[in-house]
Structure formats: structure tokens, C-alpha cells
Amino acid sequence: MTTPVFRFAPSPNGALHLGHAYSALLNFAMAREAGGRFLLRIEDIDIARCTPELEEQIYRDLAWLGLEWETPVRRQSEHFDDYAEALERLVEAEIVYPSFMSRGEVRAYIADAEADGQSWPRDPDGAPLFPPLDKERPASERRRRMEEGEPFAWRLDMEAAMAHWGRPLFWDDSGSGPDGETGSVPARPEVWGDVVIARKEMPASYHLSVVVDDALQGVTHVVRGRDLFHATAVHRLLQELLGLPVPAYHHHALILDEDGRKLSKSRGDTGIAALRAAGTTPGDVGRMVGLEVPDEGFSHQARR
């Protein structure tokens, strides 16, 4: 049997909070339980928003929680070539197209479409699906605009991609989705419309880099927050289009604040560093998220 491989994959675009602590601790506990490996991956493709200071803080926070991970840590910003190669295969298969519409143009298009009282379809995050205009542009126009240096994003032609794969998609979830979906879950990537796969100046997007990295790192178990449950449908489609292995999934509950809202990186109150500064112990953090964590941190117990 192959060794199970788990990963915690934060983005250093804000400080980690209690929700991240739960995800990291749960990954670590599940890896230990399964006799598996635990990896940390830094998802920093958004180089405008990710900073080295926040990355350092992630290492400090996780070490304080007592977690130990394999090194070297994979930092996505060092692997754009891998994503570019995957993108190239999608371009060659003609299942991605360059989209030129600006945010303003998209907003205007949708406002216009909704003017007669009909609502434009929204994705699971509530964002309107991308209009079909760019997809219909002739190849000569696309080439010209790209050559002229216009900004663009590579989008998956969802219809063409689904037809290309041509079979139903599923994933196994030992956790659950927002509506209690669990077990073998049917994937419906079409609810996202033509998602961004890469940009002119950045040959990667979250969806592309996450599936490429999970495959390259041999990740067998993806344990992450329920907010990414529906995104898994896109990941399953990309895995099939790129011929990548399919991990098992476990989407866990989100830690909510007292008002029942999702914790956010911008609200400092439940930041791990703030909790530590206020005298909270790793054991307290464990109690706050419902996991058993020794006061001196997890890995110390593992070594005993």
C-alpha cells in the first residue's frame, strides 16, 4: 500500500486564524492516524498580495501549534513552469480561450441582460457566470488582440471541456458539503461557467495550480474547508483533462465567529498570533476547535 500523503496549503495573503489552525491540525491528526506524510504548501501565485512576512508568520504559527512538516516546502511562486506546461496542454486541446472583457464590461453586460427582470445565472459563490461573448470571437481577432498586448485571462471553455471528457464525474468525500453531501459526490463543474485558468501575466490560477501540485506532490488526501467543496467539481474536471490521479477528499466544517460568520483574514480577533500573544496555549486552541491538542503542541506528543 502506498503511504497516504496529506497537505495543508495556506496562502500568505493574510494572517492565519482559528479556522486555518483547525484545518492544519485536522490534516496533521488525520495523517498521523493513517501513518501518512504531512506536507505544507505555500500557495503564493498571487504575488501582488502574498508577502514574505506573512509566509514567515505562517511557519511561526504552525510551529507554535506543534506541527512538523516535510522540507523543502513547495512554494507555488517557484513553479510557474509547471503550471505553464499544464496550461499549454489545455490550449493545444482547444478547451481554453483568451477572454478580454474587463470587469466593468462584464458588469454592464449582465446588468443589460437582467434589465428585463430575468436573473443571470450565478456560480456557487454567488458571482455571475462569465458572458459568452469572448468565447465566440473568431481566432483571427483573438490572435490580433493578444499580439497587440491587450490584457486577457485564459478561461476554460466549460462546454467544450465537458464534451471533451464526455463522462460523468464524481469524487469521494469523507467529510461533507454545505448541504450534507457526502460519500460519492457527483461533480457538476458547469455550475461555475468558464472559470479562469490563467492570466496573461501569470500562467496559473488557484484551480490549475492546486490540481497540478496535488498530483506532482503525490497528495492522496485533500483535507480542507467546506468553502472549497464546490470548487472540487472544477478540480475533478481538470484532473481528467490533464490525466492526473484523483485524491480522496475530506471537506470539513468551517469555524464560525460568534455571529455565525466565516472567519476572515482581515479581522484580527481570532488570529493565531493574537491568541498566542493573549496567553492562549495550543491546547486551548485545540479545545476551541474541538480537537485534542496537548498544551505543549502536537508533535511533542507524537515523539513520546
Residue numbers at the binding site for ligand GLU (CB under 6 A)? 9-11, 43, 210, 224, 228
- Nearest distance in Å: CB 13, ligand GLU: 8
Residue with smaller CB distance to ligand GLU, 132 or 268:
268
DSSP designation for 191: G
d(CA 291, CA 97): 45
Whether 255 and 289 have beta carbons less than 8 Å apart is answered as yes
The three-class DSSP label of residue 152 is coil
- Nearest distance in Å: CB 181, ligand GLU: 17
d(CA 123, CA 127): 5
Residue with smaller CB distance to ligand GLU, 137 or 226:
226
Residue with smaller CB distance to ligand GLU, 12 or 98:
12
- Nearest distance in Å: CB 8, ligand GLU: 7
* Residue bearing cell 511561526: 60
Residue with smaller CB distance to ligand GLU, 43 or 240:
43
Residue with smaller CB distance to ligand GLU, 43 or 55:
43
Residue with smaller CB distance to ligand GLU, 4 or 10:
10
- Nearest distance in Å: CB 179, ligand GLU: 20
Residue with smaller CB distance to ligand GLU, 155 or 252:
252
d(CA 183, CA 257): 28
Whether 128 and 122 have beta carbons less than 8 Å apart is answered as yes
- Nearest distance in Å: CB 83, ligand GLU: 14
- Nearest distance in Å: CB 223, ligand GLU: 8
Q: What does the angle CA 224 – CA 180 – CA 220 come to, to the nearest 5 degrees?
A: 35
Ramachandran angles phi, psi of 222, nearest 5°: -100, 110
- Nearest distance in Å: CB 245, ligand GLU: 15
Whether 213 and 41 have beta carbons less than 8 Å apart is answered as yes
Q: How is 236-304 classified by DSSP, letter by letter?
A: HHHHHHHT----EEEEEPPPB-TTSPBP-TT-GGGBHHHHHHTT--HHHHHHHHT----TT-HHHHHH-
